[in-house]
Amino acid sequence: MSHSALDTPTTRGTSLIDQIGNTPLVRLRRFEPKAGVEIYAKLEMRNPGGSVKDRAALAMVLEGERSGRLGPGRILLDATSGNTGIAYAMLGAARGHRVRLCVPSNVTPERKRLLRVYGADLVFTDPMEGSDGAIRQVRAIYEREPHRYFYPDQYSNPANWLAHFNSTGVEILEQTQGRITHFVAGLGTSGTFMGTGRRLKQDKPGVRLISVQPDSPLHGLEGLKHMESAIVPAIYDPTLADEDVRIETDEAHALIRRLAREEGLFVGPSSGAALAAAIRVACGLDEGVIVAIFPDGGDRYLSDPLWDVTPEEDATVTDAPIHLRIDEAQLTAIRRHGARTYPDECCGALLGPKPGEVTEAFPLDNTFPDERRRRFMVGPDEYRRAEARAAETGLQLVGFYHSHPDHPAEPSQFDLDHAWPNLSYLIVSVRQGQAKEARSWRLKADRSGFEEEFVC
């Protein structure tokens, strides 16, 4: 038996397990908000089992074999939302171990089928209890007959994060020639984040580590955990992260559609969440080399409703900018305008050299007849003033801004009903007279809603 395929990523053999790790790093130029900031994705779908979890599963299986806990006749038993299970099933087949997995019954049909392809035995658990329900079931089975099973328990097993300490982290340092400045990874068991993060901090202490979580307990980011509402994995140490970013499911879904259409890169929802976080980090930097882990490929989610897009929605994915670039001075002017008109909404035009770029915020009068605390209107005269200013400065009208007094910076139904396509709608929230967050939105082609742009 080779000592550990993961210890020696550069001297590879020809067995299946030797093909785990050494995944490619690809640059995502279109998603970089400014020159000087590089964004790279580490494509974990290129592992033989199709996901990042091949690394952890291999390390745990090898550790089990070495320690004797996974001796002849023992059944490998664990709880998994999918990818670890696929990796166990693959490795069990390759190394002659039976595999039994507890899986929430709502995992996608292609996942169930894939697990059976490799010969795994499945125990379905209550979908309402998610991965925590599967964990509870495994514990119950194991406690009844501990002598029959090897229970690697990926949530508590140090081999999980050590796999990444010994492979993923080393590879990233090599592939970026030590240039990495920021590392971004989602939290499931947290093995990827903890192991890679610890290696990076050890070898390059200045690297900043950014963990990614869903923004709410009920989310569609398979493989990720919302830690406050979940059973917290024993291997997770929240103090390792320099920053913890929360991502909405819709934002991640929108990004994976764009990645497929615009980069030819078809990945799963948790990769979209990692990219959203990477772009957010990038927006706050002048220079940097950001590496985000893309845990798996998109084909595992083909039956997910996120791909049930209408032809009109299909048309939404165009060359629309991903970012709204705006000078700090102009953003400050918009914030001040919002604070000045509080508790009424302020409004103005966004002018710039091209869509997605604002060099001048041009204040306009809110001409809504009443209820200016909740609505704004750019009347015909004000609209002509904005056009005249654009003509005078040689700029284009690229969008409008307005404030939301004591409301979040999210578009209302009124905003939806009155928006035009191909323009940016920047909203600044003003609370008790103080300007807070600014977010920008773009109308979908079918007018069904807005897509968020990253304000950089």
Q: Which residues are catalytic?
A: 53, 270
Tell the smallest beta-carbon distance from residue 304 to ligand PMP (Å): 12
Footprint (CB under 6 A) of ligand PMP, residues 381-420: none
Nearer to ligand PMP, 228 or 328 (CB): 228
Cα separation, 151 vs 199, in Å, equals 26
Distance of closest approach, residue 262 Cβ to ligand PMP, in angstroms: 21
Contact between 298 and ligand PMP by CB under 6 A: the answer reads no
| Rounded Cα distance, 16 and 279, in Å | 35
In this structure, which amino acid lies at residue 290? I
- Among residues 53, 66, 163, 31, the alpha carbon closest in space to that of 101 is found at 53
From candidates 188, 288, 352, 405, binder to ligand PMP by CB under 6 A: 188
Question: Which one of the spans 219-227, 256-264, 335-343, 395-403 is the region binding ligand PMP (CB under 6 A)?
Answer: 219-227
CB of 233 to ligand PMP, least distance (A): 8
Helical (H) or strand (E) element with 138: helix 130-144
Question: Which of these ranges, 2-10, 81-89, 318-326, 428-436, lies near ligand PMP under the rule CB under 6 A?
Answer: 81-89
Contact 217, 208 (CB under 8 A): no
Task: Decide: is 268 part of the binding site for ligand PMP (CB under 6 A).
Answer: yes
Question: Does 83 contact ligand PMP by CB under 6 A?
Answer: yes
Does 104 participate in binding ligand PMP (rule CB under 6 A)?
no
Asked if residue 289 binds ligand PMP (CB under 6 A), the reply is no
Q: Facing residues of 349 across strands?
A: 362, 400
| Residue 223 within binding range of ligand PMP, rule CB under 6 A | yes
Please state the closest distance from residue 215 (CB atom) to ligand PMP, in A: 16
Of 141-149, 171-179, 183-191, 303-311, the window that binds ligand PMP (rule: CB under 6 A) is: 183-191
Interface pick for ligand PMP out of 47, 157, 189, 316 (rule CB under 6 A): 189
Q: Could you tell me how many residues make up the chain? A: 456
- 403 contacts: CB under 8 Å, gap ≥ 6: 337, 338, 341, 342, 345, 346, 347, 427, 428, 429, 430, 435
Query: Applying CB under 6 A, does 249 fall inside the site for ligand PMP?
Result: no
Give the angle subtended at the CA of 241 by the CAs of 61 and 45, to the nearest 5°.
45
Print burial letters for 254-278: b (CB count within 10 Å at least 16), e (below 16). Answer: bbbbbbeeebebbbbbbbbbbbbbb
Span from 79-87, 280-288, 303-311, 416-424 in contact with ligand PMP (CB under 6 A): 79-87
Q: Verify binding: residue 187, ligand PMP, rule CB under 6 A.
A: yes
The count of chain residues that interact with ligand PMP, using the rule CB under 6 A, is 21
Q: Phi and psi at residue 388, in whole multiples of 5°?
A: -65, -40
Residue 372 C-beta: closest distance to ligand PMP, Å: 45
Look up residue 208 and give its DSSP letter: E
Measured at CB, which residue is nearest to ligand PMP?
223
Q: Which two tokens stand for residue 312?
A: 């009109």
Q: Which of 137, 192, 403, 424 binds ligand PMP (CB under 6 A)?
A: 192
Q: CA–CA distance from 323 to each of 341, 398, 453 (Å)?
A: 27, 13, 5
Q: Does 295 participate in binding ligand PMP (rule CB under 6 A)?
A: yes
Question: Whole-number minimum distance, CB 168 to ligand PMP, in Å?
Answer: 9
CA atoms of 134 and 123, how far apart (whole Å): 9
Residues in touch with ligand PMP (CB under 6 A): 51-53, 81-83, 186-193, 222-224, 268, 270, 295-296
